[in-house]
Structures are given as structure tokens and as C-alpha cells.
Structure 1
Amino acid sequence: MTLANQLTLLRIILIPALILVFYLPFQFSALSSALIFSLAAITDWADGYIARKYNQSTPFGAFLDPVADKLMVATALVLLVEVHASAWFAIPAVVIVGREIVISALREWMAELGKRANVAVSNIGKIKTTCQMVSIIVLLLFRPGVNLTMTWIGYITLYLAAILTLWSMVIYLKAAWPDLKPSKPGASE
């Protein structure tokens, strides 16, 4: 078990901790849940860095890392949809989670074709992830009614993440389109 894989597993272990702390009826629950999510975001960056720098990439890590990321983000968004109970929050949350499902399926399918590299993570995806992490941390820390300015910053970065989410999905789908479109009957492959 490599250090990179241990960090990925830690991110999964932090999910129930995030849920528990989020619902604690104490004043510090907002700060604590933001800190837990921040730790998860740091491990997301650190496990990839360590895996590349120290040649610790493993098939298990390649599978588990994106799963851990998606589980943590989806969990945080579901928690936040409850406290930001409005369509204005639910729409970007659904866009982000829906895109993750679509791209995960696309990557799996492209891997079956031996063309996983066609849908590798792009720079837009990295910027999207940064916006997503910032927005979730801000919104976990500043619950509705606490600080209107910070809530707006959280919403703006969440919408920016959702826009980048759609943009990166279009890029991935365009890259995979030659393999997605149906073959013409009788055409050679």
C-alpha cells in the first residue's frame, strides 16, 4: 500500500466524518466540516503529486482516486443542497454531479476501447476542480445567513465550476466523438 493510495483511502474515510460533523448541533460544526473537506482537497492534490514524483502510481490508485474525489464532492454538495435549499443551488450541484457520472462512464468506455488517453484530465478540468473545492469550502464554512458576501463568493465560484464542468464535458465528448458516433452500415473501420 503506497503513501499515495493511503491518502486516497483517507479521503474516503473522511466522508462519514464530514457528514457527522456537518450535522453536529455546535457552533464549530461549520468550521470543522470546512476543515475536513479542506483536508480531503489537500489529499486529492497530494496523492497525485506523490504518485507521480515517487513513481507510486498503481492500478488500484488510478481506479480509487477519481472515485474518492467524486464521492467527497457529491457528499459535500448533497449536504449543502439541504442548507441552501433552492433551485439556484441545486442546479449547479446537479450539473457537477451529473457531469461526473457522464465523464466517468465515458472514461470507462474509452478505456475498454484502449483510448483512455483521449479523455485524460485537461487543464480546464483542473481549474474546474479548484473552483469547485473553493466554493464548497466557502459554503461549508459560511452557512446561509452568516456572511452574505462569503455566501455570494461561494455561489459565484460554484457557478463558475458548473460552467467549467460543462465546458470540459464538451471537450471530452468532442475528443471521444469519433468513437461514439455510430458506424455507417457497410463502412470499414
Structure 2
Amino acid sequence: MWNLPNILTLMRIALIPIFIVVFYLPWEWRYPVTAGIFILGSITDWLDGYLARKLEQSTPFGAFLDPVADKLSVSAALILLLEANPSFLFAVPALVIIGREIVVSALREWMAEIGQRASVAVSMVGKLKTALQMVAISVLLFFNPETDRVYHIIGLVLLYGAVILTLWSMYVYLKAAWDELVKSDSL
């Protein structure tokens, strides 16, 4: 359990309260520092998976904890951004992204229960969605929305791009599981 990939995943979870505290500090440098902490966590997301495969240190604990860490860090960042930008424009992507994570997590859990976990394995669309989401959130965290409007708009456009990939990846997962979802128990 205590191998390097799992330690990195635990570190990513430990970074969440730190970037939340930094986000609320009353100093201008809080924006790039918050983004830097989020980016560090995003890099460890890629690195822990790479190291687990490369060092052959994949564990059930790591397989469980890695997606939990992803969902916690993205959800925390989206909630912070929504609180700092209370508008329909931020509420929609936050709800879509967090809602998709709940739906796909439940779907994967249910498919695993019926022995069909492999049919809802992580897809390339899901990986692209995650990458774009991390970039968009990093941009939105990095710049002060009051003084850096252009970057704020760029971040928002990237976030909506992530929403499109989010919906697409959810469609891919639901399509893969559809036959199992609509099966009738009665014969």
C-alpha cells in the first residue's frame, strides 16, 4: 500500500485543503499560488498512474484512491471558482462536470457488481476531458478575474470545451453500458 504512486495520490488529496486556504488569502499572489498547487496535484495525477505501471506497483488501494483524488480536487476547485464567480456561466459547467463524475462513478460501480467493469473502462475521450478540465481550471485559478478579464474568458471557454468532452465521455460510457441498463429481469 505504501508505494510511491499511492503516496503521490495521498499527497494530491493533502494538497486540497492547502489550495483552498491559499485561495481565500487576502493577497494578490494567491491566484498563481492556488493554481500552482492545483497544477502540482494535476501533474501527480499523471505521474502516479505512470509510475504504478512503470514500476509495476498497481494496487487495489491505488486503483480506488486515484479516481477519488481526481474527483475531490476537481470538485473543490470548481466549487471555489463558482463561489468566486456566482453566475449561471460558472454554475452550468460546475454542475455538469460534478454531475457526470457522480453518474459515471455509479455506473462503473454497478457494472463492476455485475462483472462488466471492463466495458466502462477509462476511454481516450475521458482522458482528454480530464486534461482539458485541468488546463481550464488552472487558467481560471491563476488569474484574478477582476483584473485579467481576457484570461478569465479564455479559461471559461476552455471550461466549456471540457463540458463538451464531459458530456461526450458520459455518452460513451452510458452507450457501452446501455444493454445492461435496460435488461429486463423478467423472462
TM-score interval, normalised by the smaller of the two chains: over 0.9
1:88 and 2:107 are equivalent in the alignment: no
1:105 — aligned with what? 106
1-structure distance, mates of 2:175, 2:131: 23
2-structure distance, mates of 1:33, 1:125: 25
CA contact (8 A) 1:83 1:143 kept: no
2:72 — aligned with what? 71
2-structure distance, mates of 1:177, 1:114: 15
CA contact (8 A) 1:103 1:169 kept: yes
1-structure distance, mates of 2:17, 2:6: 19
User: Deviation string for 1:70-111 (max 9, x for gaps)?
Assistant: 000000000000111110111011000000000000111111
**After TM superposition, what 4+ stretches of structure 1 lie above 4 angstroms from structure 2?**
none
Amino acid at match of 1:76: A
CA contact (8 A) 1:12 1:68 kept: yes
2-structure distance, mates of 1:20, 1:84: 17
What is the CA distance between 1:160 and its match in structure 2? 0.6
2-structure distance, mates of 1:122, 1:182: 24
What is the CA distance between 1:128 and its match in structure 2? 0.6
What is the CA distance between 1:184 and its match in structure 2? 5.8
SS in 2 for 1:57: coil
Amino acid at match of 2:109: E
2-structure distance, mates of 1:17, 1:60: 23
Q: Matches of residues 12-161 of structure 1 in structure 2 within 5 Å?
A: 12-161=13-162
Unaligned runs of 5+ in 1: none
SS in 1 for 2:57: coil
What is the CA distance between 1:185 and its match in structure 2? 2.4
CA contact (8 A) 1:138 1:151 kept: yes
Unaligned runs of 5+ in 2: none
Amino acid at match of 2:183: P
1-structure distance, mates of 2:163, 2:79: 15
- TM-score of the superposition, structure 2-length normalised? 0.97
Amino acid at match of 1:154: G
- TM-score of the superposition, structure 1-length normalised? 0.96
User: Deviation string for 1:135-170 (max 9, x for gaps)?
Assistant: 100000112122122111100110010111000001
Amino acid at match of 1:91: V
The number of equivalent residue pairs is 186
1:183 — aligned with what? 184
RMSD: 0.9
